Amino acid sequence: MLKASKFRLYPNKEQEELFLKHIGACRFTYNWALENKLKSYETEGKAVSRFTLNKMLPELKREYEWLKEINSQSLQGATLNLENAFTKFFREKKGFPKFKSRKNLVQSFSVPQNYKVDFEKNKIKIPKIGWVKVKIHRKYEGIEKTATISKTSTGKFYISILVDDEKEYPKKESFNEDTTIGVDVGIKDFAVFSNGKKVDNPKYLKNSIQRLKVLQKRLSKKQKGSKNREKARLAVAKLHEKIGNQRNDFQHKLSSELIGENQAIALETLNVDGMLKNHWLAQAISDSSWSFFVTKLEYKAEWTGKTILRIGTFEPSTKICNICGFHNSKITLKDRGWKCPLCGTFHDRDINAAINIKKFALQDQNLIGT
């Protein structure tokens, strides 16, 4: 299995400058490669390959002498990233590769090999940079693959090391109605389970929005290029980082709990992009960050042999009575509960949806009847 471990780096000033040079050089190489691909397609009708671009790098170094200070494999990693971006674009038909800017929130470069990690001294040796202090909070075992060094908008440096532990993914464990749980995500409650449990939505962005407005107003009044503007920008970035860390920690704990307690988890496939077009709910939906939560569930399920079940986007999980199957077409978003006219059962909107999500998923698996 491939797993990534992320650690905080503590470079000195000289090493920090070298990091920034590597980031800038890889960004430059990426943009140069993208420009060559576009020109080749316009003139010849086909894009130049990554291997051809790599053969052109020595000539590029002769033209730009400062590129010789950069690890050559990191520059080749930039062309690989561009190739992967085009592959993703052609597969998913969205997200055409764009030129990278130095104003991007996160800047990074990769080191494919020849780095060394000293767990005892909490140091890591990076080609062209040397030994850098690192906080290793967990040890890993396996074959080290590509390492990625990144710089956040708050000026912190991290290294993410991809490791192959040479283990196979565990076989999927069997599941049934008793070991499966349905999960309905929402705004008022972050998640509602088919067993009736509700998890409050922490709404980290909403709780910090007033402070964020104050800091952003201060930033807008600072003169561009001044030190005070940089201080104000850093204050805004730190608050955004804090909100992201809080949300990430909450989702990791909840996803680990769900994976640990159940053999299968049933989820509804949501059209988040479409839902974000509702400007009344867009901020609340973004604050909930359902997509990242589902991603955490999916890779943790792969690691532990659990199963993620998905039902279709248009399944009427909210409008169907989970007792008798009556379809209530009149229910609206403001209705938080409704009474079934056939069997007389009063339904909590979200709990009913979670139960139906579980039922629909198990019906698709032929584990329960209609």
Q: What are the backbone dihedrals phi and psi of residue 138, each rounded to the nearest 5 degrees, phi first?
A: -150, 145
Read out DSSP for 28-50?
HHHHHHHHHHHHHHHHHSSPPPH
Just list the catalytic residues.
184, 268, 350
Given a contact cutoff of 8 angstroms between Cβ atoms, the answer to whether 362 and 177 are in contact is yes
Q: Report the C-alpha gap between 272 and 187 in whole angstroms.
A: 13
Helices (H), the chain: 13-44, 50-63, 72-92, 204-221, 227-261, 272-275, 282-288, 290-304, 349-364
Q: 153 forms bridges with which residues in the sheet?
A: none
Give just the sign of the alpha carbon dihedral 121, 15, 72, 35: positive
- Looking at residue 290, its pLDDT comes to 93
Contact 237, 104 (CB under 8 A): no
Strand partners, 348: 337
Average pLDDT, the chain: 92
User: In sequence order, which residues have a C-beta less than 8 Å from that of residue 324 and are 6 or more positions away?
Assistant: 340, 342, 343, 345
pLDDT digits (tens, 9 = 90+) for 229-244: 999 999 999 999 999 9
Q: Which residues contact 52 (CB under 8 A, 6 or more apart)?
A: none
Q: What stretch of H or E contains 184?
A: strand 180-185
The torsion angle over the Cα atoms of residues 261, 263, 269 and 270, rounded to 10 degrees, is 10
H or E element in which residue 268 lies: strand 264-268
Residues 6+ apart with CB under 8 A from 277: none
Q: Domain map of the chain by residue range? A: 2-164, 180-200+254-364
pLDDT tens-digit readout, 82-137: 999 999 998 888 889 999 998 887 899 999 999 999 999 999 999 999 999 999 99
* Residues paired with residue 9 on neighbouring β-strands, in sequence order: 134, 157
pLDDT, residue 370, reads: 55
- Residue position matching structure tokens 């999500």: 357
Residue 268's contacts (CB-CB under 8 Å, 6 or more residues apart) are 184, 185, 310, 311, 313, 315, 317, 353, 357
Ranges under pLDDT 70 in the chain: 369-370
Residues in the chain: 370
* Per-residue model confidence (pLDDT) at position 38: 92
Please report where in the chains the tokens 């316009």 appear, as a residue: 42
Q: Are residues 150 and 8 in contact, defined by beta-carbon separation less than 8 angstroms?
A: no
Q: How far apart are CA 312 and CA 336, in angstroms?
A: 22
What pLDDT is attached to residue 51? 93
Distance CA 269, CA 335 (A): 22
Closest CA to 188 of 348, 59, 302, 35: 348
Numbers of helices and strands, H then E, in the chain: 9, 14
269: how many CB neighbours lie within 10 A of its CB? 12
Among residues 313, 255, 256, 321, which one has the least CA distance to residue 289? 255
In the DSSP assignment, the letter for residue 285 is H
- Cα dihedral 71, 75, 80, 82, rounded to 10, equals 150
